[in-house]
Structure 1
Amino acid sequence: PPAEKGMTAGWYAGGAVPGEPGPAVLIGHNDTRFGKAVFHDLHKIAEGAEITVVDGAGTAKHFTVTGKETVAKGAFPTEKVYGATGDRALRLITCDGDFDADGHPVDNLIVYAKLS
């Protein structure tokens, strides 16, 4: 999402709809030039925590965190994030880590969850 919509997460439309088979991928900022953003505290989430995703119709889907990892953007685990899964999965992705010379974070934080 654009920086001015920092409190909005974007859904990767090429993936699953949250709650359907496969990985649903939501991407959001942790900070923008406007301040804290939607995934600002994502690094605090623990395995076993519950995540609720509400669709445009107001239907809630509940997921349980199964793990998280910080990876260098150059070593992003594309298949692990976007590849087929045997369950109804959720991936939350945000920037993380130190900044490069251009002021961009060098890592991504990825949270993995499955439908509860």
Structure 2
Amino acid sequence: MPDIRRSGGRLALGAAATAVTLTGAVLAGRGLLQDEPPPAPPPATAQAVQAYTSPSGSPALARSLPRLLDVPKIGVHVALGRLGLNADGTVRVPPVEHPEQAGWYSRGATPGERGAAVILGHVDGGGRKGVFYDLGRLRRGDAISVLRADGTVAAFVVDSVEKVAKSRFPSRRVYGPLTYAGLRLVTCGGTFDRRTGHYTSNVIAYAHLA
């Protein structure tokens, strides 16, 4: 793993880091709802998380910027911001003061394009539930859709959802290259550590273009 530290709501990357080696420190809720822990997915195995195998000739769309994210199962309908890198190499994340917002990591694939498209959102903030508070309720087969700038809708099917300790964040599984059009939704989860002021885990939903 690269040398990583979180400061001022941003992710600082060491010199060895690349655009796809981000870790579980990407997002950190304020723990303002820690007496009511966010929903967690059932325990996942590596086999279950990687259950989707790209068939020959799997569908993919041309590159087009994402505009709106819909996750009907958990009541999410949100405009997507664009999350890039700051001049100092830190990764921009949605402001925790506005936990209802979500953003697409612009150095990855666009949703529907071949590769890993990653969308980030907080679990809580400002004393309110965040856009991805209920991400752990998603299950295999649930639908996700993204309206794109070219007017097309990229329709995805959830393959698996996992909760993983931030110290073991699966960087390659989330941000690494894919032979198919994949989508990853990422937030915080698990218990809130009052000593560090962060959640101990991340919740990640993996999906493929239907």
Code of the aligned partner of 1:15: G
Q: 1:26 aligns with which of 109, 119, 122?
A: 119
RMSD of aligned Cα (Å): 1.3
2 CA distance for matches of 1:32 and 1:43?
A: 17
1 CA distance for matches of 2:96 and 2:150?
A: 25
Q: Structure 1 stretch 84-93 or stretch 56-65: which is displaced more?
A: 56-65
1:89 shift after superposition = 0.2
1:13 shift after superposition = 1.0
Q: Structure 1 stretch 19-28 or stretch 52-61: which is displaced more?
A: 52-61
1:114 aligns with 208
Instruction: Provide TM-score, normalisation by structure 1.
Output: 0.93
**3-state SS of the aligned residue for 2:205?**
strand
Q: 1:102 aligns with which of 190, 196, 210?
A: 196
Pairing 1:1-116 to 2, within 5 Å after superposition: 1-56=94-149, 58-100=151-193, 101-116=195-210
* Structure 1 consecutive aligned stretches of length 4 or more whose deviation exceeds 6 Å: none
**3-state SS of the aligned residue for 2:159?**
strand
1:58 shift after superposition = 4.9
1:102 shift after superposition = 2.7
2:16 aligns with none
* Higher relative strand content: 1
Does the CA-based 8 Å contact 1:3-1:34 persist in structure 2? Answer: no
Same amino acid, percent of matched pairs: 47
Structure (1 or 2) with the larger CA radius of gyration: 2
1:99 shift after superposition = 1.5
